[in-house]
Every structure is written in structure tokens, then in C-alpha cells.
Amino acid sequence: MRYTVILEPEEDGGFHVWCPALKGCHSQGDTKEEALANIREAIAAYLESLRAEQEPFPDDVMTYQVEADAG
């Protein structure tokens, strides 16, 4: 399965990463690589729990970039 993840730098260092298609699926890491490895594990665990409950796997979300006037 392929899912979009959002990687955000934290103020105190490190990175927060989350998967919009999988509600509540978040992780973090000290480096980008660590954060991405951690979210892969979190996604796998999330999907495993869905499989155990015989729930369908969510589709990835649609992503768009928009421009906004900053005034």
C-alpha cells in the first residue's frame, strides 16, 4: 500500500510525521530518515489492526497545492 505522509520539523528539533488517510496515525523521529522509518512501522501496525478487525484499508487522500493571497 502507498500512503501520503506529512513531515513537519518540530520547534525543539526532530520531526513530526503523520498520515492523513489513517486517522490518528502519527509518529516522530530525531531525523527525517528516522521519522519516515517510524511512520512506516506505524502504518504497518495500523493496517494490521484493520486486518484483524476485518475493516477495509482506507484509500490515500487526494492532495492539492493551492495559492492564497497573503494580503
Q: Nearest-CA neighbor of 23 among 55, 69, 66, 71?
A: 55
**Rounded (5°) CA angle 61-63-64:** 155
Q: Whole-model pTM above 0.95?
A: no
What are the tens digits of pLDDT across the range 6-48? 999 999 999 999 999 999 999 999 999 999 999 999 999 999 9
CA-closest candidate to residue 38, choices 17, 54, 60, 63: 17
pLDDT at 56 over 90: yes
C-alpha cell at 45: 501496525
Residue 41 CA to its chain's centroid (Å): 11
Q: How many helices (H) and strands (E) does the chain have?
A: 1, 3
